Amino acid sequence: MNFGGDAGPRSLIRNQIEVSETRMRYGIAVLVPVFALVGVCAAFSDEGQNNAFRRIVAVLVLVSTLPAAYLVSRIRFGIIWWNRDMGHHSVPRASTYFVLYADLGVTVVLATFANHELALYGTALFAVISVYVAHFVRWAETVVHMVFTSCVIAVFAVLTWRQGYHDIAGILARAATSVIAVNATLVLLRSFSAGMLTSYRTQFANANRDPLTGLLNRRGFELWMQIAEERGPGRSGVLLLDIDNFKAVNDGSGHDGGDTVLRLLSRRLERVVGVDAAVARTGGDEFAIAVRGDIAGLTRLAEAIRGEVAVRSDDVPIGQYRCCTTRVGRARETDGAGTDQGGFVSCRQSDVRGEVGRSQPRRG
């Protein structure tokens, strides 16, 4: 089902999750300049930067870690983790840019080393970046990171071999160690992270959904309304609906027949209201619909619902009740500025202050 507009299922669930990001943000921010210490140590070594140009390049990269550390401390890691596999526009680009900066920064500094074997050892730093990648970037960027870092390791392995100080077997062992550390760490952590993410999404989605109809439940509906009001201006309202004589349907055909009617009505309501509204089952045979629009729009929607819910051609095994009628009323209207035009009490039938009408059976 579609939860409608900006207040979609991801937002609905994410707003119920409170994750302290302080330690994560500042921990990563501290690690960024710590990486620079490798370059600083190399600058005082004969194996490091052995000419002025290399030193200047290394210093520029090292200095850049300070603003980079500040910027990474501002990243919303909880949102990035939650949305990482939801599509291109769901993940803030700051995370991708940070990984690009980290990979290129480490590569450039290692390339300034005069001793390529030391640079090959330094590629182990990519494993730390892989920990970040495993949690906070999309799969496409993950693959790019794995391919890029593996290629960098291979290049430094070749350069080390060309220096002629080590045999090929020893160099391959060094390179393989880095490749395994970088990629195996990433794959294992990402697999675990994906499993946890799927589990959380399922649990939170189920907490907001009616298991019989697949619609929002009362909890989910109230959260949807809250998010919709926070995210966009505009008039909005709530329609309340219940099924007439639903007890007679259950008595005449059993609960299976009643469940069939509820599911059928749910699909009908979703079809009528479209994607920019929320439909919820708030009680046994009670439904609520939240939609943007003024009073006239709400009235038109109520009329459309009345005409849609009762079709005699429905193959519903409920004996004489081969169609159902409903009662629709307006429970609430807001003006988009947080002003209630009537007060949304709690989605109970008694809260309906303007009954629009009762649907009549129609021929299908």
pLDDT in tens, 52-98: 787 888 888 888 988 998 888 888 887 788 777 765 555 668 888 99
Which of 206, 239, 261 terminates a domain? The answer is 206
My answer on whether 225 and 193 are in the same domain is no
User: Residue 5's pLDDT is what?
Assistant: 39
The residue among 119, 363, 70, 357 whose CA lies nearest residue 241 is 357
User: Residue 189's pLDDT is what?
Assistant: 94
Any domain includes 268: yes
My answer on whether 244 and 296 are in the same domain is yes
My answer on whether 266 and 194 are in the same domain is no
pLDDT category, 127, cuts 50, 70, 90?
very high
- Cβ(189)–Cβ(129) under 8 Å? no
Any domain includes 8: no
Of 153 and 219, more confident? 153
Any domain includes 212: no
Q: Average pLDDT in the 106-118 region? A: 90
Any domain includes 5: no
My answer on whether 231 and 184 are in the same domain is no
My answer on whether 255 and 135 are in the same domain is no
pLDDT category, 354, cuts 50, 70, 90?
very low
CATH number at residue 292: 3.30.70.270
My answer on whether 286 and 254 are in the same domain is yes
My answer on whether 198 and 335 are in the same domain is no
Q: Average pLDDT in the 293-317 region? A: 68
- Cβ(336)–Cβ(285) under 8 Å? no
Which of 186, 206, 226 terminates a domain? The answer is 206
Q: Which residues constitute the domain of residue 105? A: 17-206
pLDDT category, 13, cuts 50, 70, 90?
low
Determine the Cα–Cα distance for residues 65 and 219; give it in Å rounded to an integer: 45
Instruction: Give the least confident one: 14-18, 53-57, 124-128, 334-338.
Output: 334-338
Cβ neighbours, 10 Å, residue 66: 13
Instruction: Give the least confident one: 104-108, 169-173, 214-218, 261-265.
Output: 261-265
Of 345 and 26, more confident? 26
DSSP conformational letter for 165? S
User: Residue 316's pLDDT is what?
Assistant: 52
My answer on whether 190 and 223 are in the same domain is no
pLDDT in tens, 211-261: 888 899 988 888 888 777 766 666 678 888 887 777 777 777 777 778 888
Any domain includes 237: yes
Any domain includes 231: yes
Instruction: Give the least confident one: 15-19, 105-109, 299-303, 318-322.
Output: 318-322
Any domain includes 143: yes
Residues 6+ apart with CB under 8 A from 327: 241, 242, 244, 355, 357, 358, 359
- Indicate the number of domains in the chain: 2
For the ranges 96-100, 144-148, 301-305, the maximum mean pLDDT occurs at 144-148
Structure-token pair, residue 4? 């409608």
